[in-house]
Structure formats: C-alpha cells, structure tokens
Copies of this chain bind each other. A is one copy, B any other.
Amino acid sequence: MITFSNISKIYENHAAVKDINLQINKGELVFVTGASGAGKTTLLKLVYVAEKPDTGSIVIAGYNTSTLKEKSIPFLRRNIGVVFQDFKLLSNKTVYDNIALALRIRGVQEGEIKNRVSNALKLVNLRHRSESYPLTLSGGEQQRVTIARAIVDEPTVLLADEPTGNLDSGNARSIMDIFREINAKGTTIMIATHNHDLFRNTGLRVVQLEEGRLIGETVG
C-alpha cells in the first residue's frame, strides 16, 4: 500500500528523515516510534504530501507522490485520514463543523454528513460537545475531535501522529480500540507515538527511528 524507497528529507542541511526504506502492506497497522525529533511526523507528512522527499520516492496505492500532478494531490489526500499532532482544528467552527468539513470538501450531502459526524462523535465520546468551539474543549477533548475528523470518511489510509499525547490511559485504550476496529475493516494505519504502552503486547509491527534513520523493527 505504502512503499518508502530511499527516502530523505533535509531541512536547512539537517536531515529530518534519512535513507528510509519501508514497505507497509494493505490492511496493516504499523507503529512508528522514536525520541522527540526523531522524524516521525516528517515521515507521515511525506505520505500525505505536506512535504516532498529530497531523495527517494514514496508510492501509495500505485501513485508516486513525487510525480503526482499538483491537481491530483487533493484527491490523493481524500483517501488519507490524518490525526495531526497539533490538531489543526479551526477555532471559528464548532466541533460538528470541523468534522463535517472533511466531508463537505469531498462533496458529501448534508443529510449523510449529519449521520456520519454524529457516529464519529459517538465513537470518541464527545456527542454532547458537538456545538462547542475547539478552544472551549480540554486538550484531550480536542485530540479526540481530531481523531473523529480523521476517521469520519472511512479513509483507505489512516495516519495518526501522537494520537494519545493528551489522553489518559482509559481514553487512550478506547481510541486504540477504534483504530483496531477500523483496521479490521481494511484501513491501512500508521501510528507515530512515543507511548510504548500503546503497542506493548499487541503483536503488531513497530518501526524505530533515531535521528531520522530507521534503526530497527520489532514486534510490539
């Protein structure tokens, strides 16, 4: 599904990600771990084409992101749900509208949007806050809204960047349950996290980064 070949990304003569070779198959759930600044976020950004690699190529579902026409980028992104590390919620829209936006952009009808958004909100346990604005939510609540937005369109690929950084262990567990359920339905998932509890004893692939390099792969 996603193939990284010889990927490097260099910022101001400092490599955020270097010589990465990685193959993620359709329907897999893979963890990416590493210390602060190891390159986890950068690796995910390369997948949803927020950055382009300086060397190497990434192929997603047959499309090479480096040679993709600019006009096609929106359509590639519509197949990828992203839980951003910094949430990227729009503070002038309610929780409902923030999540609905992902569907409106895709041209989904309002009637259907209503159903899907309320389902997503139920999953993350925030149905009662649908009319609140992001800045009136607690950190963990905001994070869960971001997660709801990422999964609301049942994407082919889900990228989750530190999705439980602001969540207590109870909430973290229920989010992981949601991810595994979506994964079971066929969505390919990459989760970047420093929280070892998330993958401990899951039997899933864990990719380790250190200063931008892939230094090993274990099973959680």
Contacts and interface: CB of A to CB of B under 8 A. Distances in A.
A168 interface: yes
Copies of the polypeptide in the assembly: 2
Interface in A134-163: 136, 138-141, 143-144, 161-162
Interface of A: 11, 34-37, 40-41, 85-86, 136, 138-141, 143-144, 161-162, 165-171, 194, 196
A170 B37 CA distance: 12
B36 A138 contact: yes
A54 B141 CA distance: 23
In the complex, the 7 A-B pairs of residues with the closest C-beta atoms, listed nearest first: A36-B140, A168-B194, A165-B165, A85-B139, A35-B168, A37-B138, A36-B171
Nearest to A138: B37
Contacts of A196: 169
Given A165-B165, A165-B166, A136 B11 contact: yes
Contacts of A169: 194, 196
